[in-house]
Amino acid sequence: MTITQVAEHCGIDRTEVYKILPNLDIRRVGVRGGVTPLGRLIRIERGSLLRLRGEPEPAPPELPRWVTMQQAAEYYQVSPTLIRRIIAHEQLDARRIGTSRNIRIDRESLLQLGRFKTWTP
């Protein structure tokens, strides 16, 4: 989920979402480098938000073993162009299928993209 989606889901202002970020599982998705070395787009795990609110957690979406570029882009709510750039920076494990131009992304690589643990004292 994006910051805006979390704010709408919780019925709070976007600035309030940044205050509860340490309690949520977040990902930084994007190409490393630039201003933020871990990526530029913040994505919040839906399950951690629902646990924080005390709501039941839905079943995770079923992804095939090898995911298409479009499926990967929809999963993180980004453009396929950004997914291509992430592959070019070797942050995703991707393969060409046969002699075609079709690119498939490893599901486990996709699920681990941008995941990092936040440290809280």
| Model pLDDT for residues 39-60, shown as the tens digit of each residue | 466 777 777 888 888 888 777 7
**pTM reported for the whole predicted model:** 0.64
| Model pLDDT for residues 59-84, shown as the tens digit of each residue | 777 888 889 889 988 888 788 888 88
Cα 46 from Cα 57, distance rounded (Å): 8
Q: How far is CA 13 from CA 10, 42, 57, 77, in A?
A: 9, 16, 23, 21
When pLDDT is averaged across residues 104-110 and rounded to a whole number, the result is: 88
> What pLDDT, on the 0 to 100 scale, is given for residue 116?
56
